Amino acid sequence: MKHFAIVALLGLALCIVAQPVYAQAKSAPKSTFGMVKSVSATQLVITIAGKDGTFMIGRSTKFSGKGVTKRAPVSATDVLGEGDQVVVSYHDLGPTSYAESVRIIRKRAEK
């Protein structure tokens, strides 16, 4: 009986700790507009009003807008380039921002 009580208390504690993280992940995404400074398969850095914003890119990140075809899956490096103007919808989870979607507003003009 004593072991059951300990397990039950540990389970309750885990539920209490996990609830804020789950609620944060399910919150509405934020969005921001900026110019692509750099892009890799896992990370996007954009300049927002003179400051850099870094966003993690995952398999679930969706890309749309200028230059994006409907074929799937699409890699960030296939569709984004330095100087492109984008809108990023993202979630903050702790100190890290995760990109939910990236919409390309304007491609950098080719010289």
Answer yes or no: pTM beyond 0.85: no
pLDDT in tens, 19-38: 554 444 567 889 999 999 99
Set out the domains of the chain in order of their start, with CATH numbers: 29-106 (2.40.50.320)
Integer CA distances (angstroms), 4 to 11, 12, 15, 16, 32, in order: 10, 12, 17, 18, 49
Residues composing the chain? 111
pLDDT in tens, 52-101: 999 999 988 999 988 787 766 678 888 899 999 999 999 998 889 999 99
